[in-house]
Amino acid sequence: MSSFSGIQYADLGVRIGLYAVATFLAHAQPMLGLDRFAQMVEVPKNKGQQIVWRRLIPFNAAMDQLVEGITPSPTGVVYENVTSQLAQYGAWIPFTDILVETHEDENIKQFTIGAAEQAALTKERILWATLIAGTNVIYSGAATSRATVQAPLDLGDLQLATRALKVAMAKPITKIITASDKIATQPVAPGYVGIGHTNLEQDLRAVSGFVPRENYSDSTKILHEMEIGKVQDIRFILLPHLPYFAGAGSATTTGVLFTGANVDVYPLVIFGENAFATTALKGMSAANVWVKLPKGGESYEDPVGQRGFVAWKMWYSGVRLNEAWMIRLESAASAL
């Protein structure tokens, strides 16, 4: 068994193992859109599966004038706890010696790529499910609940979301985790970020004042490959793999996308700095991958070496750190 930097490669040599890991990382990173904006925290090994943040509740202004010789009443200190529970995720792809010995295709490479993309998608879906379960929500148009949503988003909806974030004193995003493995973060122009499904693109581009990313003053500082542009203080990243609420809206489906007899409702999560976090077991913030080739005489379960596999495993959790610093705008999407 060979290993390198804590990664196990089953019966593959280090050279093959290194190639597998390089392929894994190169294909996993571009799929991630949410992780770049999360506060990343690693839980030390052997310290349990739960992490707890303690947030000091802000003090009110001290408006009473001091009286000579009299000590004022002390300010009470109150903390709020936010917890996250680590969990394990993983999957594996079996194959046989026939595939390895008779097929010309680079099957192992393709399986490794597929495992990488599966791990990345798993992380994204876990974090997205956490974000869209937030308690701070507004609805497009005249809707008062998800079940009454029937209108696409407009400028007024976006301004309402921005106003709510500013009133809550949510700080604009000023830096992100870069996709490069050489730099931890990179600075970006201050602004809030909105992330949602690609079906929202046409409605966002139709909003008055929309600025496409190619018209930015510094186009090299885009937040993500899938960023499409901005409206006032919000920059938008749209990803095709983010789930939405199919058929959860109004029965009035004129001019919008729908499933069955009801409108599809699309969440657009708009947030500021430190609104949410991801956690991982220390040293295991990325998924581990193993490649095992069929090998005879190795085990009683497979004595003639007929079976192999590609497998991955990770520890992961997502948590909302401050409900007031993120808001979910739920809307319909225009039919084309």
pLDDT tens per residue, range 270-295? 999 989 988 876 555 567 888 888 88
pLDDT tens per residue, range 199-219? 999 999 999 999 999 888 765
pTM over 0.85: no
Q: How far is CA 8 from CA 20, 26, 100, 144, 312, in A?
A: 11, 18, 21, 53, 11
Q: Worst-scoring range by mean pLDDT, 21-30, 127-136, 304-313? A: 21-30
Are the C-beta atoms of 100 and 11 separated by less than 8 Å?
A: no
180 band by pLDDT with thresholds 50, 70 and 90: very low
Are the C-beta atoms of 278 and 316 separated by less than 8 Å?
A: yes
Select the more confidently predicted residue: 97 or 143: 143
Q: Worst-scoring range by mean pLDDT, 69-78, 174-183, 192-201, 323-332? A: 174-183
5 band by pLDDT with thresholds 50, 70 and 90: very low
Return the pLDDT at 315.
85
For the cut 50, the answer to whether the pLDDT of residue 317 exceeds it is yes
181 band by pLDDT with thresholds 50, 70 and 90: very low
4 band by pLDDT with thresholds 50, 70 and 90: very low
Return the pLDDT at 178.
56
For the cut 50, the answer to whether the pLDDT of residue 183 exceeds it is no
**Which residues 6+ apart lie within 8 Å of 329 measured at CB?**
137, 138, 139, 140, 153, 157, 158, 161, 194, 267, 268, 269, 270
Select the more confidently predicted residue: 129 or 225: 129
The full set of domains in the chain, from first to last, is: 3-55+81-129+278-320 (3.30.2400.20), 139-276+322-331 (3.30.2320)
